[in-house]
């Protein structure tokens, strides 16, 4: 008699969301040791009315309860962010899974707002632990986040630190040696690839580039992404006369590889992060990274090995890092090769998939 594979019900946003959780599971499938069913939650692409959003949320809860009633799920995998909206919304899914249906439950915090984490005290902490502390496995994207959960009373053997992954097609046909020499012969393109919000460090990036512009006219700043700061960023570029700062705009999935392949380095001075997919993808294509020591970056990033990182937000420090990578070609080559190999070993789909399946397996023991 052949026993069936365990089945996992995964909650995530609409597949039209090219980033985040939906992308993570699209990349990892198919799993070998489990079957996965998808349960879409959150805002739909055609949703505009706020009142409908509330109704949709109630319907999501009812659909979820029905799915657990009629389905034979061995594990429920919920994917919140540690922020007010994510915790409040997904708490109901976790309570339904752990306490009403008593199903094995995995909670994967893909985002982590430090200010919100610091507000979880007293009765809020008791309520948070009551809801999320019953999960059979809790996954976070940084060792710092794990240590916070342990201080909150979570059991160490149930808390795991994981990474994101890059799509295997990203490096298909890619030759890192050829790419390095092509980049060093052309213009030196500094890539800022993130949503245009202040906390991604976009204004620090602009100021760092202003400091570089006078000495290195062959440098360009490519700003890829969209967001609420887009018009303000455009105005800042015009006011500072940053002629080589180029607003690329929103990048579709099919354009990503070309953008990364023709850039010289990734510049991401974010105030806070979980485990940014842009860093993983850039490393996979052999880009040095200049960033801040935040989130999961802190757990693996080695200065002068993967690029440069700092606790500071000072644009002058970032500018000095970028200048060193531009001037020291041997350092640039070494970092590029190291990042490409490291990403293939640590962040490639088969390795991340294997680790996720091991977590599922531990829940079922």
Q: Which tokens in the block code for residue 32?
A: 């070998």
- Which residue has tokens 């909650």? 11
Rounded to an integer, what distance in angstroms lies between the CA atom of residue 228 and that of residue 232?
Answer: 8
Instruction: Show the 3-state SS of 11-70.
Output: EECCCCCCCHHHHHHHHHCCCCCCEEEEEECCCCCCCCCHHHHHHHHHHHHHHHHHHHHH
Which phi and psi angles does 96 have, rounded to 5°? -60, -45
The span from the CA of 145 to the CA of 159, in Å, is 10
Q: What is the pLDDT of residue 3?
A: 64
What was the pLDDT predicted at 47? 62
Query: Cα–chain-centroid distance for residue 139?
Result: 13
Question: What's residue 20's pLDDT?
Answer: 64
Contacts of 266 (CB under 8 A, 6+ apart): 191, 193, 260, 278, 279, 282, 287, 288, 289, 290, 291, 307
Q: Which segments of the chain have a pLDDT < 50?
A: 1-2, 18
What's residue 37's pLDDT?
A: 94
What pTM was computed for the model? 0.89
| Residue ranges of domains in the chain, CATH in brackets | 7-165+348-364 (3.40.50.2000), 168-346 (3.40.50.2000)
Backbone torsions φ then ψ of 184, nearest 5 degrees: -75, -20
Identify the pLDDT of residue 17.
Answer: 55
Q: Characterise 249 by phi-psi region: left (phi > 0), alpha (psi -120 to 50), beta (else).
A: left
pLDDT score of 67? 97
Reported as a single tens digit per residue, the pLDDT across 292-302 is 999 999 999 99
User: Are 360 and 75 within 8 A, CB to CB?
Assistant: yes
């Amino acid at each position: 008699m052949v026993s069936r594979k365990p089945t996992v019900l995964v909650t995530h946003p609409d597949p039209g969301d090219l980033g985040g959780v939906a992308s993570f599971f699209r990349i990892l499938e198919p799993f070998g040791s489990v079957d996965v069913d998808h349960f879409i939650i959150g805002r739909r692409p055609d949703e505009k009315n706020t009142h409908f959003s509330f109704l949709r949320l109630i319907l999501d809860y009812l659909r979820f309860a029905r799915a657990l009633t009629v389905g034979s799920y061995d594990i429920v995998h919920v994917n919140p962010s540690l922020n007010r909206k994510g915790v409040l919304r997904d708490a109901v899914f976790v309570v339904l899974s752990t306490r009403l249906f008593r199903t094995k439950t995995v909670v994967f915090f893909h985002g982590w707002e430090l200010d919100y984490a610091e507000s979880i005290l007293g009765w809020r902490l008791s309520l948070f632990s009551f809801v999320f502390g019953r999960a059979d496995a809790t996954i976070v994207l940084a060792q710092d986040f794990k240590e916070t959960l342990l201080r909150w009373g979570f059991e160490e053997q149930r808390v795991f630190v994981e990474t994101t992954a890059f799509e295997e097609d990203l490096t298909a046909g890619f030759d890192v040696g050829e790419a390095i020499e092509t980049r060093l012969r052309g213009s030196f393109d500094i890539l800022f690839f993130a949503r245009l919000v202040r906390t991604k460090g976009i204004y620090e990036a602009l100021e760092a580039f202003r400091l570089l512009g006078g000495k290195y006219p062959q440098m360009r700043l490519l700003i890829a992404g969209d967001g609420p700061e887009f018009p303000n960023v455009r105005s800042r570029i015009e006011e500072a006369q940053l002629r080589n700062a180029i607003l690329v705009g929103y990048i579709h999935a099919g354009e990503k590889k070309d953008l990364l392949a023709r850039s010289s380095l990734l510049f991401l001075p974010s105030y806070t992060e979980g485990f940014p997919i842009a860093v993983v993808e850039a490393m996979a294509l052999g880009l040095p990274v200049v960033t801040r020591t935040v989130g999961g970056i802190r757990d693996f990033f080695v200065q002068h090995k993967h690029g440069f990182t700092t606790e500071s937000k000072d644009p002058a420090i970032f500018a000095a890092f970028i200048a060193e990578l531009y001037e020291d070609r041997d350092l640039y080559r070494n970092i590029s090769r190291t990042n490409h190999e490291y990403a293939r070993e640590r962040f490639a789909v088969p390795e991340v998939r294997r680790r996720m399946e091991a977590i599922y397996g531990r829940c079922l023991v």
